[in-house]
Amino acid sequence: MKTGGKIHSYKVHFGDLDDVTTRSGRCYRIAGPKNRSDFLVVIPARNEERTVGAVVSDIRSRHACCVVVVDDASTDRTGAVAATAGAAVLKLPFSMGAWCATQAGLRYALQYGYRYVVTMDADGQHHARSVNKILQAVVSGRTDVAVGACPHRLSAAKRVAWAYFRLLTRLSIRDFTSGLRAYNLRAIKVLGRRYASLLDYQDIGVLMLLQRQGITIEEVPVTMSARKAGHSRVFSSWFVVAQYMMQTTVLCVSRLGPRRRHNAEAA
Amino acid sequence: MSYQVTTSFIGILLAGAILYLVRRDHLHGPYALWWLVVAGITIVLGLFPRTIDLIAGYTGVSYPPNLLFSLAIGMLLLKMLKSDIESSRHERRIRRLGQKMAILAEENLRLQAEIEADRTGESRRASGR
């Protein structure tokens, strides 16, 4: 075969299944995406074919960065639309929720040695122009994690809920659920670990985990628009809200107390 | 008919069902061992129901059936707790496996495209020569 020798020159990693450490420079330059930059944009998406294309092309028109859309087992054409718009698509074999979809993106970033990750929603409520602002907060070294927040858009019910959780967790954040965030490598490493894989929502569990690891979180005010399509996954029905509130309360209470060694052994 | 016949019948039936399922390889390793122990206890208690009265006497329980039921419920709760812990572990593993699979699939797709591009480039060079 003529191309036989050629194929062997590609460095492909079939590492250990839980190995998320950064590969050596040489490896990821060969196997990694073409247009490399320091940061990666990760967009978890589930059935967002109407908006995801515009979100991806908007980012790509402003930044020469790689965009990864994590398709959380959508039943529509989300993955195809995102790929057409120029994103790398990670297609999850089954739905595992917005947070675990995001985590897949973080692990992708670790594998290819990105230093920063910006996450945003696929429904178009976050603007590509906000990316720079929250990224700057992290790149400048001011904080490890920046959360893009738009507190005045919160409904009364959410304000009450967040006040309650602020009390429980002692996190000084007003907009817990914001999916517009920037992480540096330190935060990405923590969140890529196994103990973060059983979290179902990206908000309080994730933020508490970061807080316990001594990672600094800062809120950056940004503008957001109303959702073009779809609806909040959490605040969709009273039953789901009740379930969410109770589950998160249990999570908060079980994590209270002095900082535990989480990174020693990833149970 | 003595009540012992009834308890023996129930005990042997239960133990027989468990043994059958274990032998059919529906359960692996530690589960099989646990259920074999359960089968053993059901046989003993079924054939000799007075055993429970004996134990109750030693432990100071005045109404023996209470001892049996509390122990049985306690064991079942522990077993359920253990199986929930186990399924959480499985959930975590399967999620990470799914994430890794998605990452590798994307990498595979990209490398295939690269190889394809190389191949067409090579054939173009060959035909140009």
- The mean per-residue pLDDT over the stretch A231-241 comes to 67
Q: Can you give the pLDDT at residue A33?
A: 45
Q: Tell me the pLDDT of chain B averaged across its residues.
A: 87
Q: Can you give the pLDDT at residue A13?
A: 40
A99: closest chain B residue by CA: B95
- Give the gap in angstroms from C-alpha A84 to the nearest C-alpha of chain B: 14
Q: Which residues in B lie closer than 8 A to residue A11 (C-beta atoms)?
A: none
User: What is the pTM (predicted TM-score) of this model?
Assistant: 0.78
The least confident of A102-111, A171-180, A220-229 is A220-229
Please say if the pLDDT value at position A261 is more than 80: no
Please say if the pLDDT value at position A216 is more than 70: yes
Please say if the pLDDT value at position A97 is more than 70: yes
Q: Which residue among B101, B102, B107 places its CB closest to the CB of A31?
A: B107
* Matching residue, tokens 């790398």: A88
Q: How confident is the model at residue B43 (pLDDT cuts 50, 70, 90)?
A: confident
- Give the gap in angstroms from C-alpha A222 to the nearest C-alpha of chain B: 30
DSSP chain A: --SHHHHHTS------TT--SPPPHHHHHHHS-SS--SEEEEEEESS-TTTHHHHHHHHHHH---EEEEEE-S-SSSHHHHHHHTT-EEEE-SS--HHHHHHHHHHHHHHHTT-SEEEE--TTS-B-HHHHHHHHHHHHTTS-SEEEEE-GGG--HHHHHHHHHHHHHH----S-TT---EEEEHHHHHHHTSGGGTT--SSSHHHHHHHHHTT--EEEEE--B---SSS--SSTT-HHHHHHHHHHHHHHHHHT-SSPP--SSS--
B106: closest chain A residue by CA: A90
Higher pLDDT, A264 or A41: A41
**What does DSSP assign to residue B119?**
H
A190 and chain B: CB distance < 8 Å anywhere?
A: no
Please say if the pLDDT value at position A233 is more than 80: no
Tens of pLDDT, residue by residue over B77-120, are 999 999 999 999 999 999 999 999 999 999 999 889 888 888 88
Binary contact (A17, B111; C-beta < 8 A): no
A197: closest chain B residue by CA: B92
Q: Which residue among A14, A18, A94 places its CB closest to the CB of B98?
A: A94
Q: Which residue among B95, B107, B119 places its CB closest to the CB of A12?
A: B107
B111: closest chain A residue by CA: A31
* Matching residue, tokens 């897949």: A104
Q: Tell me the pLDDT of chain A averaged across its residues.
A: 78
- The mean per-residue pLDDT over the stretch A215-225 comes to 89
Tens of pLDDT, residue by residue over A100-155, are 999 999 999 999 889 999 999 998 888 888 888 899 999 999 999 999 988 777 77
Do A186 and A257 meet the contact criterion of CB atoms below 8 Å apart?
no
Please say if the pLDDT value at position B53 is more than 50: yes
**Pairing mode of beta strands A145-149, A217-221:** parallel
Pairs of residues, one from chain A and one from chain B, whose beta carbons lie less than 8 Å apart: 68
Residues 6+ apart with CB under 8 A from A181: A118, A119, A134, A145, A146, A147, A148
Tens of pLDDT, residue by residue over B59-77, are 998 998 899 999 999 999 9
A19 and chain B: CB distance < 8 Å anywhere?
A: no
A154 and chain B: CB distance < 8 Å anywhere?
A: no
Q: Can you give the pLDDT at residue A5?
A: 37
Binary contact (A194, B107; C-beta < 8 A): no
Tens of pLDDT, residue by residue over A62-93, are 888 889 999 999 999 999 999 999 899 999 99
- Give the gap in angstroms from C-alpha A168 to the nearest C-alpha of chain B: 25
Please say if the pLDDT value at position A184 is more than 50: yes
- Give the gap in angstroms from C-alpha A151 to the nearest C-alpha of chain B: 32
Which residues, numbered 215 to 234 in chain A, qualify as contacts with chain B under a Cβ-Cβ cut-off of 8 Å?
A: none
Binary contact (A12, B111; C-beta < 8 A): yes
